[in-house]
Amino acid sequence: MYPDREKALAKGRRKGKTFIRVFCGIFISVGIILLIVGIAVGVSGHTFRQKAEPTDAVILAMRGASSESLGTPVVEYTVDGKSYTAMLNMASSSMYPGKRITIYYQKNNPREVRYLDDNGWLILIFAFIGTVFTGIGTAFWLVKRSHERKARQLLATGEVVEAEITGIGEDTSSSMNGHHPIMVSCRYTAPDGRVYFFRSGSFWYESYEIAPKKKVRVYVDRNNPANYYVDVDSAVG
C-alpha cells in the first residue's frame, strides 16, 4: 500500500476545498464590489444632482490624453455672468476640445462641478459586470454542491463495481497555482459481457498518487447506468 495514502487523501481533499473557496470567493467578491461601486456612483450622482444646477460648458482640452487614455476634460462655463474653469470628474469617448456639453454645479459653490450625463451607462456597466461575476461564482458553487449531493446519494445507494483504470489525465479547465486536477478514465466488464466506460470528475491528486494497476470503485445507479460516481479516492495508493 502506498505509505502516504492518508496524507495524499487529506491533501487532495484540502486542495479541492481551497479551489472552491478561492474560485467562488474571487468571483463573488469582485461581483459584489462592482455592484457596490455601481450603487455608490448612482447614489452619489443622484445626491449631487439634487443640489446642483445645469449649465452649458465648452471643453477647452483633454488633459493627459494619449493613445491609451481619454484624458481629463478641462471645461469653461459661466454662472451668474462669471466665467469658471474646472476639471471634470469623468470623460467619455465622445468628448473632444471645442465640444459643448452640459455640466452640473453646486448652487453654493459654482467651482464644484460634475459631468453626469454618462452616469447611467456607467452604473449599468458596473451592475452588469458585477451581476455576471457574482452569478458565475454562485453558479459554480451550486453546481459543486449538486455534484456532492449526487456523489453522496450514489455512495449510499449505488451498485458498486470494480473498474480497471484505462487513463489518468489533467482537467485543463481548472487550475490553481499552475496545477490542474486529474480525471480518471476506467472500464468495467459486466458478467454478461457488456463493457461500460466511466470517467471521473476532477480530483486534486497528483497522477503518481493513483495506482494505475489498482481497480477503482464506481457507484452506479441501479436504474440508470449513465448516472454514476467514480470514487477516485479508492485508487489512491
Number of Cβ within a 10 Å radius of residue 28: 18
The Cα–Cα gap between 114 and 77 comes to 12
Residue 64 pLDDT more than 90?
A: no
Closest CA to 42 of 123, 96, 112, 138: 123
Residue 5: predicted pLDDT: 82
Confidence of residue 1 (pLDDT cuts 50, 70, 90): very low
Instruction: Sort 227 into a burial class: Cβ within 10 Å, 0-12 / 13-18 / 19+.
Output: middle
CA distance readout (Å), 139 to 26, 32, 35, 115, 130: 13, 15, 17, 37, 14
pLDDT digits (tens, 9 = 90+) for 4-15: 888 888 999 999
The Cα–Cα gap between 47 and 34 comes to 20
Secondary structure (3-state) at 105: strand
Exposure class string for 87-116: b at 16+ Cβ within 10 A, else e? ebbbbeeebeeeeebebbbeeeebeebbbb
Mean pLDDT (the chain, rounded): 92
Residue 66: predicted pLDDT: 81
pLDDT digits (tens, 9 = 90+) for 117-149: 777 888 899 999 999 999 999 999 999 999 999
* % of the chain beyond a pLDDT of 90: 74
Number of Cβ within a 10 Å radius of residue 155: 13
Residue 138: predicted pLDDT: 96
pLDDT digits (tens, 9 = 90+) for 78-115: 999 999 999 998 888 889 999 999 999 998 999 999 99
Residue 106: predicted pLDDT: 93
Closest CA to 88 of 43, 50, 118, 68: 118
* % of the chain beyond a pLDDT of 70: 99
Q: Are 116 and 92 in contact (CB under 8 A)?
A: no
pTM over 0.75: no
Residue 202: predicted pLDDT: 94
Residue 224 pLDDT more than 50?
A: yes
Residue 24: predicted pLDDT: 94
Angle, vertex CA 164, rays to CA 153 and CA 207, nearest 5 = 85
Residue 20 pLDDT more than 80?
A: yes
Calculate mean pLDDT across residues 181-187. 96
Closest CA to 187 of 219, 171, 205, 165: 165
Calculate mean pLDDT across residues 38-51. 90
